[in-house]
Structure 1
């Protein structure tokens, strides 16, 4: 994300849930006024947008993890993502052009 109002330690809320046969991957950064809800079906390449850019996503379940690709045609980039539980936290591992990063999300009680 490229948001001028966003601090390095800005809290990010990530919600991934299923509604009918569609999955929602909702990203919220309250202090930056950012909300993005990527909606997809497992095993199908689905168009969407992220930060103003057109993307396609294709996810499937593999061994309890959500695994897939996000394609950014305008930049000729493909990001490979894996979301899986790591204890009580959600771990996201992403790889693009040989660069790997990992991020953890803490579970909040509602």
Structure 2
């Protein structure tokens, strides 16, 4: 590799790091216990029913190794989701109580995060194109996080451990 190419990579990495500091270096927050880095344990309940309720009955419902990183920077929070096995990455920047917009595979959706208590974070996701609303509730108990997914009358859960 030539020196100019390596220099360009270093500059890009530095700019990216300034825009989004590494959440792995951010310590557990006592005000918002859901802040931190979480990795799926593989334990889940009723996820096949949840995927069917979304209209995705043939979707593979096994729990790919997924990490969620949540951190606060100023008055904004960040939620970085990664599931390398299925080549999925998403970074959402949000303010509690404010609606935001994003998309996934061309599907537009709105979201709003709210905090019910220092141990509970809720994310409401509305997908107008599918006429669906999903409610995700994150509940922390020590170093375990249980994510409850709700769509219509269907409830599913996945478990995560703090890293």
TM-score (norm 1): 0.82
Question: 1:57 and 2:115 equivalent?
Answer: no
Q: Give 1:48's match in structure 2, choosing from 99, 102, 122.
A: 102
Structure number with higher helix proportion: 2
Give, in whole Å, the separation in 2 of the partners of 1:71 and 1:7: 21
Question: 1:100 and 2:155 equivalent?
Answer: yes
Between structure 1 and structure 2, the one with the greater Rg is 2
Relative to structure 1, the CA distance from residue 63 to residue 7 in structure 2 (aligned partners, 3 Å threshold; closer, same or farther) is closer
Instruction: Choose between structure 1 and 2 for higher RCO, CA contacts under 8 A separated by at least 6 residues.
Output: 2
TM-score (norm 2): 0.58
The alignment covers a number of residue pairs equal to: 105
Structure number with higher strand proportion: 1
Give, in whole Å, the separation in 1 of the partners of 2:131 and 2:115: 25
Equivalent residues in 2 for 1:1-110, closer than 5 Å: 8-64=62-118, 65-108=120-163
- Runs of 5+ unmatched residues, structure 1: none
Runs of 4+ in 1 over 4 A off after TM superposition: none
